[in-house]
Structure 1
Amino acid sequence: MPYCDRCDRSFSTQGFEHHIRTSSRHFFCVAHGRDFESWLGLKEHYVQSPFHHYCQHCDEDFTNEWSLVNHYETVHFYCHEHGRIFHSQRGLNEHFVQHHGHLFCQYCDMTFEYEEQFLDHAEDLHFVCRECVKIFGSPWKQEQHFEKHHSSYY
């Protein structure tokens, strides 16, 4: 009969597996079948493992690299060239001006010298989140972003 040292309890085999995966005292990696003693241990595993595609900004693990990059693009303010994430559209814009010499629209490859020009362009031709001013290339990506990150405010 399986026994949990950490919780000082015995379980059936099926009950033990359920316990390890759901107990707040265990930090379980489903993909590798490993139990960690702390959230930091599990997080370190996610970050260091080449098999995990982990976003350290919001503690989400993705099944593949494409899903992680898609997450960066739809949730965070991401510079593809440098692989950096910013906390706001303004931070990303400042990065582009400082490191790229201009503002860049990732949806139509246009460049802008001033932020006002860029924002006017984005509002006229693309889809802008009304809460955080993040720009999207399609209405469904904008809606997906809004539902996930801002809908709880309303």
Structure 2
Amino acid sequence: MSLAAQVLEAARERGLMIAPAESCTGGMVAAALTDIAGSSAVVERGFVTYSNAAKEQMLGVRAVTLATHGAVSEAVAQEMAEGALARSEADLSVAITGIAGPGGSEFKPEGRVCFATTLRGAPTLVETVEFGAPGRAEVRARARDHALALLLARLHP
């Protein structure tokens, strides 16, 4: 069973709805979930917020957070995940923001991706993963898979 199918099954068993908030993955998490028949019982909606303006407008990420930490930060990932729950009927969210490449900087290298998961009534968990520079498509695929694994972990405490 695929990772996405495991997430759907676990969420269905717990009666929980999911709303991913994605930047560098551009909807890949939502696509992985909705590629599976019956996903509408679990996927409430998804947010693709590639620009800073979209993060602010659609998810309520604060301009000061973006200015202070930059879009690729745990602080922004946290506000994205929490904003997805605040602006949906979902119970669980995962947020992804990162630098898929090519490029990056000395301070924020290619392959750095920040994640946050939040479950209604529980603390938000954040982490940063350094995927290195295997190429844009590979960073995005690894970020998608990591986000799915984080969702599954929140569903099986």
Q: TM-score, with normalisation over the residues of structure 2? A: 0.25
- With CA pairs under 8 Å and 6+ residues apart, which has the higher RCO, 1 or 2? 2
Q: Which has the larger radius of gyration?
A: 1
